[in-house]
Amino acid sequence: MEPSRAAASTASSGRPRNALRPLSDFPAGLRVLVVDDDLTCLKIIDRMLRKCLYDVTVCSGAAAALAMLREKKGEFDLVLSDVYMPDMDGFKLLEHIGLEMDLPVIMMSADDGKDAVMKGVTHGACDYLIKPLSMEALKNIWQHVVRKRRNELKELEHSGSAEENDRKKRAPEEGDNASSGNEGSWKNVKRRRDEEGEVVVQEEVEEREDPSTLKKPRVVWSVDLHRQFVAAVNQLGVDKAVPKKILELMHVHGLTRENVASHLQKYRLYMRRVSVPQHQGRLDTPYTGSSEATFRSVDSFDGFDLHSLAVSSQLSPQSLTTLHSAPRRVTNTSIGMSSVDQMGFFNSSAQISNASNIRPPLMQQINKQQMNFPSGPSTSMESRQLGQSQQLIQSYGNMGLQASEGASVLLNLPSLLRTSTSFPGGSINANLSNSSVMQMTHRGQQFSLSQQRNQIHASMPQLPQTRGLILNGIAGEHDSRLPTTIGQILSNEVSSHISGRSGSNMNVDTSLPGGYMNASSYGAVSHALYADFPNSCMNESTGSCYPLARSVGATSLTSTAMPPVGDVEALGNSTGLRGAKDFVPNYDLFSELHQSKSQDWKLQNINVSYPSDQHLGSKQSNIAFGSPSLAHQDSSATVKDGSSRNTRTVRKEIFSVRTEIGHEKGERIAQRNRTILVENSVRLKSEGMSDPRYQDVLFDDNIIQNELMNVVGKKQQEGVVQVDPELNFDGYSLDNIPS
């Protein structure tokens, strides 16, 4: 009998997905984390799961569980959590996980009332089990892992459907992509990847043509894109905003109605979640000065946002209180965020990421800023965080702050800033949280994150798009490991989500001046965020930070060790999202973002950050995805060059991973980073992940990347790509992805 890995504290648990088990064993070896404060239940469930041949880790506290998840990103496939827990509401944990790690979460409870179950559903739980649990119920939980991956792949597919043709053409399309602005970022990514490795092209084509592979690039809802989206929605009127019309208004080449529809859905959810109590309409936060401006822009959202924010926020009592204290702030934030959403997201993300790296200094700053937050975040942490975030936000621009504040408030920032891992996330989150955080936390965390990320990115010239990656980066930073998959996914997701979701997202777009975050701030943030990848992000110049493939991917290569992805996510998540508890803000942001159901962005990030070629080179060449991420090798260069090499290696890994996933073998995938599945479809696809060895995995690039990272990571433990800091997670910046 395997010894039970109790993890009351952050004891190490979870197992890196080493290729210890043949895929054919699936679902055996499925890595499950069980969270329940009741030791009796914990013991029983542990035993039951072991009997199912799952790889179980138990945890008796939500906070400890979250810390563990963050620390070991990519080491779990599924989370089983009790609803009622003393230190944290199970649903909050659920949200956090969704945003930060995007893992399937199953809730358990003795409460079988309809309301309780409904709550589980609305919070995004994959399933809701009634206690007492039986073996039968637990035997099949692996299906959720598989389903999630499939859905992710599908999303990628859908989002990329329109782009398929473009991608095929590669070079000539460059121009086209450019015209579509950010929206085409993913295309660029894909393209880049293609360019990177010839094989990729080939594979990409193959994959694309094969409907079963579903390697559609994910649409990266970059800040700009989101801004356009939001503008279109506002123009049409919230009630009349239908995907078709929005699409028409946006004039974005390559964007499909489906993309818009799903984004709109997220956005709406986000708005609802983030809505802040009406009376908190005005933000008279200290930041007002600048925020004012931001708010203005948000006006359009005003009624809608606030309301939705208020409504959707579902702020916890504390947060509400906080909000009340700074009512205005909150509201504004939401509003501001809406417009800026994307920006916010991105910035936030970026910031967050940066934050992670620069944690100490940033934190302080943020803390200071927090202090400004008059109404005072409910908890001290919040204030601290807010303060910090404020600083960050400042950089963003008023909006950022506003958002953050709002976010913090909404989010109960305390948790936001409290990035467990690195602060940076926290601080960044703070900022982000303001904008994004708020949004995110409650539901729309995703948005917040995105916003934040965006913000962060915003400053970076090159990162126009919401850098989903950034988020990742941020998240990654957190652990600096960022499992590639996660981080990546998160970033992307976050970005996308953020736009839509976190209502609170700061309307960074509007308010924030061009680059939300000053490059400097951004840089800092990015650095902070990407502990590992900081350079990449920051170095490059901001823009490059996030090669999509990025660092996340690279980091994940080692899979075990790679936090990059995860970190980023963590960062992202924690930053804003948490609001509720003491979660690391970064994580919250990102996780939330990611979680936001937007499978879409997930994929993006996968960037399996292929750490410099060196590492990967040896491995399978398939891993082409390297292109984006690999680039990162030392300089933020995201991945351009080495990528091909790395990509190959990584690709191989990824393929295997992908294959598994793609084929729904579940097994592997489950074992791999879930995140990987996400995104990077773009990248991966282009890479042509068709690794003969592994069979084409359909995953989206991200997934593959993540997987790769995992796989690679594992394999290369020795020499692997150690999380290449350079790799930074710049998941979102597709632009940077060399293809």
Partner 1 sequence: MEYSSLQRQVAYMKKRLFDQGYLDEQFYQLEELQDEANPNFVEEVVTLFFRDSSRLMANIEQALEKCPQDFHRLDSFMHQLKGSTSSIGALRVKNECTQFREYCDEGNLDGCQRSFQKVKREHAVLKQKLKAYFQLLRQIGPTERATPPGG
40 scored as a contact of partner 1 (CB under 8 A): yes
By CB under 8 A, name the one of 6, 19, 28, 44 that touches partner 1. 44
By CB under 8 A, name the one of 7, 48, 393, 438 that touches partner 1. 48
Contact yes or no for 418/583 (Cβ under 8 A): yes
Q: Which is nearer to partner 1, 118 or 693 (CB)?
A: 118
Q: Which is nearer to partner 1, 39 or 121 (CB)?
A: 39
**Range 93-122, binding partner 1 (CB under 8 A):** 109-111
CB of 84 to partner 1, least distance (A): 6
Candidate ranges 46-54, 390-398, 508-516, 715-723; the one touching partner 1 (CB under 8 A): 46-54
Question: CA-based angle 722:728:730, to the nearest 5?
Answer: 145
Quote the CA–CA distance of 360 and 667 in Å, as a whole number: 41
CB of 112 to partner 1, least distance (A): 11
Q: Which is nearer to partner 1, 45 or 249 (CB)?
A: 45
Q: Which is nearer to partner 1, 82 or 341 (CB)?
A: 82
Residue 48: how many CA atoms within 13 Å on its side-chain side?
19
The C-alpha R_g of the chain, in whole angstroms, comes to 21
Quote the CA–CA distance of 494 and 476 in Å, as a whole number: 13
Q: Which is nearer to partner 1, 135 or 169 (CB)?
A: 135
131 scored as a contact of partner 1 (CB under 8 A): yes
DSSP secondary structure string for all residues of 519-544: HHHHHHHHHHH-SSSHIIIIIHHSST
Measured in whole angstroms, the distance separating CA 394 from the mean position of its chain's CA atoms is: 23
178 scored as a contact of partner 1 (CB under 8 A): no
x/- binding map, residues 387-426, to partner 1, per CB under 8 A? ----------------------------------------
The answer, yes or no, to whether the previous bond of 132 is cis (omega within 30 of 0) is yes
The set of residues, in sequence order, having a beta carbon less than 8 Å from that of 459 and lying 6+ positions away, is: 347, 350, 395, 396, 515, 516, 517, 518, 519, 520, 521, 522, 523, 542
CB of 606 to partner 1, least distance (A): 38
Quote the CA–CA distance of 714 and 629 in Å, as a whole number: 18
Measured in whole angstroms, the distance separating CA 622 from the mean position of its chain's CA atoms is: 25
CB of 131 to partner 1, least distance (A): 5
CB of 51 to partner 1, least distance (A): 6
Contact yes or no for 400/567 (Cβ under 8 A): no
Q: Where are the beta strands (DSSP E) in 445-587?
A: 481-482
CB of 33 to partner 1, least distance (A): 19
Q: Where are the alpha helices (DSSP H) in 134-256?
A: 135-139, 142-161, 164-169, 171-180, 185-196, 198-209, 223-236, 243-250
Q: Which is nearer to partner 1, 89 or 479 (CB)?
A: 89
Q: Which is nearer to partner 1, 131 or 550 (CB)?
A: 131
x/- binding map, residues 54-93, to partner 1, per CB under 8 A? ----------------------------x-x---------
**Phi and psi of 560, rounded to 5°?**
-70, -50
Candidate ranges 92-100, 131-139, 645-653, 726-734; the one touching partner 1 (CB under 8 A): 131-139
Exposure string of 223-255, with b = 16+ CB inside 10 Å and e = fewer, is bbbbbbbbbbbbeeebeebebebbbebbebbbb
Question: CA-based angle 35:40:46, to the nearest 5?
Answer: 55
By CB under 8 A, name the one of 134, 140, 380, 520 that touches partner 1. 134
Of 103, 260, 145, 192, residue with least CA distance to 685 = 192
CB of 57 to partner 1, least distance (A): 18
Candidate ranges 40-48, 165-173, 302-310, 320-328; the one touching partner 1 (CB under 8 A): 40-48
Q: Which is nearer to partner 1, 133 or 242 (CB)?
A: 133
By CB under 8 A, name the one of 20, 39, 118, 121 that touches partner 1. 39
Q: Which is nearer to partner 1, 140 or 165 (CB)?
A: 140
The set of residues, in sequence order, having a beta carbon less than 8 Å from that of 322 and lying 6+ positions away, is: 315, 330, 375, 376, 377, 378, 382, 408, 409, 412, 413
By CB under 8 A, name the one of 22, 132, 172, 692 that touches partner 1. 132
By CB under 8 A, name the one of 6, 19, 25, 37 that touches partner 1. 37
DSSP secondary structure string for all residues of 107-127: EEES---HHHHHHHHHTT-SE
Q: Which is nearer to partner 1, 48 or 689 (CB)?
A: 48
Candidate ranges 37-45, 404-412, 478-486, 713-721; the one touching partner 1 (CB under 8 A): 37-45
The set of residues, in sequence order, having a beta carbon less than 8 Å from that of 360 and lying 6+ positions away, is: 423
Q: How far is CA 460 from CA 446, 478, 569, in A?
A: 21, 20, 19
Candidate ranges 32-40, 274-282, 454-462, 544-552; the one touching partner 1 (CB under 8 A): 32-40
Candidate ranges 45-53, 335-343, 401-409, 644-652; the one touching partner 1 (CB under 8 A): 45-53
Sign of CA dihedral 164, 151, 715, 735: positive
Q: How many residues bind partner 1 (CB under 8 A)?
A: 21
Question: Residue numbers of the site for partner 1 (CB under 8 A)?
Answer: 1, 37-41, 43-44, 47-48, 51, 82, 84, 109-111, 131-135
